[in-house]
Amino acid sequence: MKTQDIEYHADGKRFVGHLVVDEAKSGKRPGILIAHEGNGLTDHAKHSARRLAEAGYIAFALDYYGDGKPLPDISAATPLIGGWMADPTGIRVRAHAALDVLTAEPRTDAARLAGIGYCFGGTTVLEMARAGEPLKAVVGFHSGLATSRPAQVGAVKAKVLVQLGASDPLVPPEQRLAFEKEMTEAKVDWRMILYGGAVHSFTNPAADSLGRPDLRYDKAADERSWQAMLDAFDEAFA
């Protein structure tokens, strides 16, 4: 398994993403872009990249804050995310630059691309879909669904899957309903899976260490949502 940290630039900043390729496999493979949680590029996203590479994909974990490092304090994310929620142009530019890195990898099949994301990373790949990026699928895990620039009819090329904790207070039912309306009106091929009893960050075992009732790992939801993602890829790449 080959891992490589790759520097790239966009939006006036330097970024460092994490590429994983299984060199025991040959030929071109679908490429999966991974957008990290709101605290930055940590082992959580890097571990997902490795698992995807083991499953037969080219995986690139992007960096949307800069320098490829986690934030020293999650509170530092608030103004950044707030700015992108008000105007997603910046996060779309940063994600597009990361997609360019993934497609530049010689073993990536550029005709079969997808994006996944966790927390605001899920919001990020949804913004990529809304922007009409050439993705076959996007999958959001406990992702924020709101946007200031809703999808337009014909713009979204990807099949969209969002996976949420039914008890997640950060993505309440009214946000889910607004997303359903947006996707339906834009004629998107979309799905939403709710996991009963799960809250935010249900895919990340490190969430439990924070001691917050709204952030908690859920092993069953984690495993089920990973398999649902793989099934979505099988369909989109067929």
Short-list 43, 39, 35, CA closest to 3:
43
Q: What is the pLDDT of residue 11?
A: 95
pLDDT single digits (tens) 133-153: 999 999 999 999 999 999 999
Q: Is 154 helix (H, G, I), strand (E, B) or coil?
A: coil
The pLDDT mean for the chain works out to: 97
pLDDT single digits (tens) 185-217: 999 999 999 999 999 999 999 999 999 999 999
Helix 120-130 / helix 77-86 crossing angle, nearest 10 deg: 20
Q: How many domains does the chain have?
A: 1
DSSP letters of 98-150?
HHHHHHHSTTEEEEEEEEEEETHHHHHHHHHHHTT-S-SEEEEES-----SS-
pLDDT over 90 at 54, yes or no: yes
Q: Residue 173 — φ and ψ, nearest 5°?
A: -55, -35
DSSP letters of 169-211?
TTS-HHHHHHHHHHHHHTT--EEEEEETT--BTTT-GGGGGG-
Q: What is the pLDDT of residue 198?
A: 98
pLDDT single digits (tens) 85-138: 999 999 999 999 999 999 999 999 999 999 999 999 999 999 999 999 999 999
Side-chain-side CA neighbours of residue 48 (13 Å): 30
Cβ of 61: how many Cβ atoms within 10 Å? Answer: 29
pLDDT over 90 at 37, yes or no: yes
Q: What is the pLDDT of residue 74?
A: 85
pLDDT over 90 at 23, yes or no: yes
β-strand partners of 14: 9
User: What CATH number is attached to the domain comprising 169?
Assistant: 3.40.50.1820
pLDDT above 70 covers a percentage of the chain that reads: 100
- Kindly state the average pLDDT of the residues 32-55: 98
User: CA angle 115-162-82, nearest 5°?
Assistant: 80
The residue behind tokens 């966009």 is 10
CB 50 within 8 A of CB 74: no
Alpha-carbon distance of 128 to 116, in angstroms, equals 10
> End-to-end CA distance of the chain, in Å?
25
Q: What is the pLDDT of residue 138?
A: 98
Length of the chain in terms of residues written: 238
Domain that includes residue 14, residue range: 2-237
Q: What is the pLDDT of residue 160?
A: 99
Q: Is 67 helix (H, G, I), strand (E, B) or coil?
A: coil
What is the rounded radius of gyration, in angstroms, for the C-alpha atoms of the chain? 16
pLDDT over 90 at 73, yes or no: no
